[in-house]
A and B are shown apart, each in its own frame.
Chain A
Amino acid sequence: MLKESLFRFPKSLKRTNFHYCPGCHHSLVHRILCEVIDELNLRERTIGIASIGCACFIYNYIDVDMVEAPHGRSCSAGTGIKRARPDLIVFTYQGDGDFAAIGLGDSLHAASRSERITAIMINNTVYGMTGGQASPTTVIGQKTTTTPFGRKPEEQGYPLKVVEILSNFEGVAYAARVAVNNPKRVMETKKAITKAFLAQLEDKGFAYVEVLSACPINWKMDPVSATKYVDKLTEIFPLGVFRETF
């Protein structure tokens, strides 16, 4: 009995190999997302939105109806779905480039309109899929392919802190920043994602979960060091629930 519950394979997770790099946190977040969808029994009425980035293939892993949105437009596509069919459950799965750079307008306005959708942002401080360019969340001093000498405040400004912005929005029902680099944080992430779906189920407002994630390849680290480095990131991007209205 105990064994079964420890190793249960989420129903919503397709039995296939992930294409992500070794040590990438995407697959872990996918699994948590699937567990939440299963536990809330949402699989048969959930529409996921695949955005542009490393996770654009998310539909190969998560066994729910999914549509692909152009780069940055997931929250707008999500708005369209939810307004057209309020009975469906909508989530977006976006990277920091998608949600917070090219899509910041779409994201903030969806939040401000209090769209009943759940947005998950994977913050790994780089553009992963295109090969490690700087993103709005690249931290000061961080070397990327487009900040080869490190991000300098006087040249590239400061990392964008999305959850802090969203925490001031009246339309936002839930906003949290979590990480998945140790078991305790994995549990907290699951709690946050659950809450972010409950915000939608209970018609409370826009819900946002930012997951600090490792991108070992573009951080030029091995998986273990990358996972440890997430701890350092939490000094710049503090974890916690920033807004909770219900």
Chain B
Amino acid sequence: MTNRVLIKGVEAVALGALEGGCDCYFGYPITPQNEIPEIMSVELPKRGGAFVQAESETSAINMVLGASAVGKRAMTSSSSPGISLMSEGFSYLIALELPCVIVNVMRGGPGLGGIEASQGDYFQAVKAPGHGDGRFLVLAPASCQEAYELTAKAFELADRYRNPVMILMDAILGQMKESTVLKKLNIKSITKDDWALTGAKGREARIIKSLFLDSAELAERNLKLKKKYEQMEKEVRFESILDGNEEVLVCAFGSMGRIAKESVLKLREKGYRVGYFRPITLFPFPKKALSSIFEKNNSLKQILVLELNCGQMVEDVMISVCGKAEVISKFYPPSVLPFPEDIEREIKKCLRKVYFVSPKV
């Protein structure tokens, strides 16, 4: 029997985390993601796990650090301002190579901003989660089903790479209800016997640290981490609708991807030559996949990048497309949510080539 339920995106995240084997949750309340700690406070103790409501996000992320260091699957969730507060901890987690899952249900910024849907934390998530050279593996779901499945998978990926994995979503996806199948997912457990702190019994004491005063040693550490990010290329995921005859490609992620997909499908039905590309991993960004689409398709001349911010992902698109097509940035700051018809108009403008701007970023 399929276990189909009608749940919100944030509920899907919590249930996905439990399916992914989450042992410990630490967090601090912030809208629009409070359902996650609320569910975890009930479900984790039942399963022998731990739930702590911390006194701040800085504290929460360091509780995650502790739980991860002793080999448990740990997570936290928050929204934009809270994520900023965790930034130092993120850098340490990356440096200490401690796996964990972090969920950011983005809200509008900067500052206190608002609680509208926004994709304003793209750069923060993808480029610089903390100080130093560290990266997260970033997954961006676009439906409740995907939020459930990607959150579960995130625990396996975090353990595999010994690196934090971020689920980057927004308030629309977080708060909308959708039919979701709570599938059994085959989430692998990965041994931590070779590094976790469990007490120095029958082996030498272990040290998990990020301080390397010897410059050669520090450089080596950084190169080791870089190599890991390169290996993450294997995890690249995206969704696309293409048949090779497109003139315009629409690129968007998360909720914006959902809106754009509807517009693209409608136009394709009417015979418009428009394709669709939705990155699911934002880091690593599907650069090669995107670039090869342009190499294979000569008729494809433009890529329209849609975002709920003032233009961030467009920079990664430009790097990926690398002059092979004209990159057009259409962005919607927080609280300005386009309808599919608005997007259709933008696509038609591209197709008519009356709309010509280099990326406004």
Residue numbers of A with Cβ under 8 A of B are 43-47, 49-50, 56-57, 59, 63-70, 73, 76-85, 88, 105-106, 109, 113
Show 15 residue pairs from A and B whose CB-CB distance is below 8 angstroms, ordered by the A residue: A47-B197, A56-B211, A59-B209, A67-B65, A67-B69, A68-B210, A69-B66, A69-B92, A76-B54, A79-B54, A80-B24, A83-B50, A84-B23, A84-B67, A85-B70
Docked complex Cα distance between A143 and B60 (Å): 36
- The answer to whether A67 touches B89, judged by C-beta atoms less than 8 angstroms apart, is no
- The answer to whether A80 touches B74, judged by C-beta atoms less than 8 angstroms apart, is yes
- The answer to whether B67 touches A69, judged by C-beta atoms less than 8 angstroms apart, is no
- The answer to whether A73 touches B74, judged by C-beta atoms less than 8 angstroms apart, is no
Q: Which of B59, B70, B210 contacts A76 (CB 8 A)?
A: B59
Q: Which of B24, B199, B201 contacts A83 (CB 8 A)?
A: B24
- The answer to whether B62 touches A59, judged by C-beta atoms less than 8 angstroms apart, is no
Docked complex Cα distance between A65 and B199 (Å): 6
- The answer to whether B59 touches A67, judged by C-beta atoms less than 8 angstroms apart, is no
Residue of A nearest to B207 (CB): A59
Residue of A nearest to B100 (CB): A80
Q: How many Å from the CB of B159 to the closest CB on chain A?
A: 15
Q: How many Å from the CB of B189 to the closest CB on chain A?
A: 16
User: Which residues from 7 to 32 on chain B have a C-beta closer than 8 Å to any C-beta of chain A?
Assistant: 23-24, 26
> Which of A45, A63, A82, A85 is packed against the most chain B CB atoms within 10 Å?
A85
Residue of A nearest to B201 (CB): A44
New contact pairs (9) apart from A57-B211, A83-B24, CB-CB < 8 Å: A45-B201, A50-B209, A65-B205, A70-B92, A76-B59, A76-B63, A79-B54, A81-B66, A84-B66
Q: How many Å from the CB of A105 to the closest CB on chain B?
A: 6
Q: How many Å from the CB of B273 to the closest CB on chain A?
A: 52
Docked complex Cα distance between A83 and B52 (Å): 8
Interface string of B29-70 (1 = CB under 8 A from A): 000000000000000000000101011101110111111111
Q: Which of A56, A77, A82 contacts B65 (CB 8 A)?
A: A77
Known: A65-B200, A70-B88, A109-B55. A79 touches B63 (CB 8 A): yes
Q: Which of A46, A66, A79, A84 contacts B208 (CB 8 A)?
A: A66
Interface residue? B228 (CB, 8 A): no
- The answer to whether A80 touches B205, judged by C-beta atoms less than 8 angstroms apart, is no
- The answer to whether B205 touches A67, judged by C-beta atoms less than 8 angstroms apart, is no
Q: Which of A44, A80, A113 contacts B62 (CB 8 A)?
A: A80
Residue of B nearest to A74 (CB): B62
Which size bracket describes the interface of B in this complex? 35 or more
Across-interface contacts of A67 in B (CB, < 8 A): 65-66, 69, 96, 197, 207-209
Across-interface contacts of A77 in B (CB, < 8 A): 62-63, 65-66, 69
Residue numbers of B with Cβ under 8 A of A are 23-24, 26, 50, 52, 54-56, 58-60, 62-70, 72, 74, 88-89, 92, 96, 197-202, 205-211
Across-interface contacts of B24 in A (CB, < 8 A): 80, 83-84
Across-interface contacts of B207 in A (CB, < 8 A): 59, 65-68
Residue of B nearest to A42 (CB): B199
Q: How many Å from the CB of A53 to the closest CB on chain B?
A: 12
Across-interface contacts of A63 in B (CB, < 8 A): 200, 205
Q: Nearest 7 CB-CB pairs, A to B?
A: A80-B66, A80-B63, A76-B62, A84-B67, A83-B50, A73-B62, A44-B201
Q: Which of B26, B59, B74, B199 contacts A106 (CB 8 A)?
A: B59
> Which of B23, B64, B67 is packed against the most chain A CB atoms within 10 Å?
B67
Known: A66-B205, A77-B63, A105-B55. A45 touches B199 (CB 8 A): yes
- The answer to whether B199 touches A84, judged by C-beta atoms less than 8 angstroms apart, is no
Docked complex Cα distance between A84 and B49 (Å): 7
Q: How many Å from the CB of B92 to the closest CB on chain A?
A: 5
Docked complex Cα distance between A82 and B50 (Å): 10
Across-interface contacts of B209 in A (CB, < 8 A): 50, 59, 66-68
Known: A44-B200, A65-B205, A73-B89. A81 touches B96 (CB 8 A): no
- The answer to whether A79 touches B66, judged by C-beta atoms less than 8 angstroms apart, is yes
Docked complex Cα distance between A85 and B62 (Å): 15
Docked complex Cα distance between A241 and B63 (Å): 29
Residue of B nearest to A71 (CB): B88
Q: How many Å from the CB of A107 to the closest CB on chain B?
A: 10
Docked complex Cα distance between A73 and B96 (Å): 15
Docked complex Cα distance between A4 and B202 (Å): 26
